[in-house]
Amino acid sequence: MRLLIALLALLFASAPSISAPLRPPEGSELQLFVENDMLSRTDRYYTNGIKFGGGAPFDLLQLPATELLKQLAPEGGSKIHLGLFVGQNLYTPKSIQISAPQPLDRPWAAWLYLGGVAQRAKENRLDTVELDVGIVGPSALGREIQSEWHKLIGSPEPLGWHNQIPNEPAFLVSYLAKSKYSLDSPSGIDLEVIPHGGVTLGTVMTLARAGGILRLGRHMTGFGPDTIEPGGAMLQNMRHDIEPGRSHELEWYVFAGLDHRLVAHNIFLDGTVFSNSPGVRHRPHVYDLTLGFSLRIDPVRLSVTRVQRSEEFFSSGSTGGRQTFDSINLGIEF
């Protein structure tokens, strides 16, 4: 927990001084992502993710992300917006009440990281680069966070964290491009399709992805609901740069989407890169089906998404089964 607190302190340490106590700089925003499988009544595989941060008018990890964005994204458009996030993901086998190693099931794993984001929009296109650096293994505090949470909600104690993948520094860099197109709707309700594509490289994950969402609503801005994965969050104050005429005090939409990933490496399945580690063989093709809604009452936004994920690994002793979890994103602009 001390490491998590230190990362949160680093998130704001470089910010310029502000006149109002506890108020972030004008033009910034805060975002909180929480993903968990509790509502689907499971406690397995990708069992929890949390990510906190947002737009930040200062450089840290954003500097290398900015330089890469300049090489990948079209010139012109909005100015480059910067963001900084801290996050943690937890992964477990199907049964968390087995203390012995489970070599035929998904390994226990945790990932604690700090991420810098650079983002630019041009017309109907949004380009994002995110650089995440952190650590996997016991130092990522997976045992502590899950054990304390389970005590709080009265769930069974997780018994196998001593079998988790070992400590190892880890990183990834992700590029994601989104576009949006308006469709004719006779009902007077706005209808948009938002395709996306991108690539992630690093010791954490290496993959290519493509997909999109269809959304239906009123006064829609931005590029769909923000998501926790690298490059998935839009720095929401960008709306004021690229869509000032469309901003409205009340915005809502419902959406459905598909994201397909071609996976070459996943440290949470394959195990660590530089040491011996528990692991299973990952599936090369993984997809998510999503369904949800988003509501903005300016300047606060809430998005809720139900995610159905396909099987992620092969195992003779386990199905590597499908998974359902929920994703919640809360954002506020300043």
Query: Which structure tokens are listed for 60?
Result: 């840290």
Instruction: Assign residue 276 the CATH number of its domain.
Output: 2.40.128.140
User: Is 20 part of any domain?
Assistant: no
Query: Which structure tokens are listed for 94?
Result: 């199907």
User: Is 119 part of any domain?
Assistant: yes
Of 170, 165, 78, nearest to 131 by C-alpha is 170
pLDDT reading at 14 higher than 60? no
Q: What pLDDT does residue 139 have?
A: 97
Q: Rounded to whole angstroms, how far apart are CA atoms 123 and 112?
A: 35
User: Is 22 part of any domain?
Assistant: no
Query: What single-letter amino acid sits at 314?
Result: F
- Which tens digit of pLDDT belongs to each residue from 119-165? 999 889 999 999 999 999 999 999 999 999 999 988 889 999 999 99
- DSSP state letters, 136-200: ESGGG-HHHHHHHHHHHHTPPPP--GGGSPPPEEEEEEEEEEEE-EEE--TTS-EEEEEEEEEEE
Query: What single-letter amino acid sits at 19?
Result: S
pLDDT reading at 48 higher than 90? yes
Q: What pLDDT does residue 28 have?
A: 67
Q: Rounded to whole angstroms, how far apart are CA atoms 31 and 190?
A: 26
Q: What pLDDT does residue 302 have?
A: 96
- Which tens digit of pLDDT belongs to each residue from 266-291? 999 999 999 899 999 999 999 999 99
The confidence band for 184, taking pLDDT boundaries of 50, 70 and 90, is: confident
Taking a C-beta distance cutoff of 8 angstroms, is the pair 309, 106 a contact?
Answer: no
Q: 15: which DSSP letter?
A: S
Taking a C-beta distance cutoff of 8 angstroms, is the pair 214, 257 a contact?
Answer: yes
Residue 52's domain spans which residues? 2-14+28-333
Instruction: Report how far Cα 190 is from the mean position of its chain's Cα atoms.
Output: 27
Taking a C-beta distance cutoff of 8 angstroms, is the pair 266, 89 a contact?
Answer: no
The terminus-to-terminus CA distance of the chain in angstroms comes to: 28
pTM: 0.89
Q: With pLDDT > 70 as the criterion, what percentage of the chain qualifies?
A: 87
Our separate counts of H helices and E strands in the chain read 5, 15
Q: With pLDDT > 90 as the criterion, what percentage of the chain qualifies?
A: 64
User: 192-225 burial by CB neighbour count: b if 16+ within 10 A, else e?
Assistant: bebebebbbbbbbbbbebebbbbbbbeebbbbbb
Q: 238: which DSSP letter?
A: G
pLDDT reading at 106 higher than 80? yes
The confidence band for 247, taking pLDDT boundaries of 50, 70 and 90, is: low
User: Is 276 part of any domain?
Assistant: yes
Number of domains composing the chain: 1
The pairing of strands 81-92 and 109-122 is antiparallel
User: Is 297 part of any domain?
Assistant: yes
Q: What pLDDT does residue 289 have?
A: 98
Mean pLDDT across the chain, nearest whole number? 87
Lowest-pLDDT range, 70-74, 149-153, 232-236, 238-242?
238-242
